[in-house]
Amino acid sequence: METAILFIVSVLMSLIVWNKISKKYLWLRIKDQQLNKAAQPILMLHSFRFAGLSFFVPGIVHAGLNPAWSVPAAFGDFTAAVLAFVTLSLVNTALFRPLLWIFNLLGFADLLLAFVNGPRYNIVPFLGPAYYIVILYVPILLLTHIMTFRLLVRNDKLQPN
């Protein structure tokens, strides 16, 4: 079976499984909470996006991984991690909601850009062990960005004053 097909199947299966897990164990618990409380576990998860810096580590990725993909992917993830941590640190301030929007828009755009550019730069054969970051971690990140958008746009009565 071709590597690209295995990759696509792996990402789709991960999305399906993470969707089931997140709906049952995360969304049900946070959907009715105030934004500043509901977003905290999501921001904690995204604070680990520094793992994207592994796209620079020889032995984790192969030397042939195109820097046109790896540089924006690694720095985009790291930026999202820093934004998630800063936003989490300011959870009870007036800056929280605007920072949450900034984090969510930039973090989501980073993941979409990496997905669009991945096939363009033929990354799969060069990911090495970082393959597991992409197939296991990225799907839950995408799903939690979607949850965060839902939290941000829902009825104002659930928002903190």
Q: What is the pTM of this model?
A: 0.92
Round the average pLDDT of the chain to a whole number and report it. Answer: 94
Residue 58 sits at φ, ψ, to 5 deg, of -60, 140
- Sorting pLDDT into bands at 50, 70 and 90, what band is 161? very low
Question: Domain map of the chain by residue range?
Answer: 3-158
**Bridge partners, residue 61, by sequence:** 58
Q: What is the mean pLDDT of residues 30-46?
A: 96
- Distance (Å, rounded) from C-alpha 1 to C-alpha 150? 38
Please name which of 56, 102, 60 lies closest in space to residue 79, comparing C-alpha atoms.
102
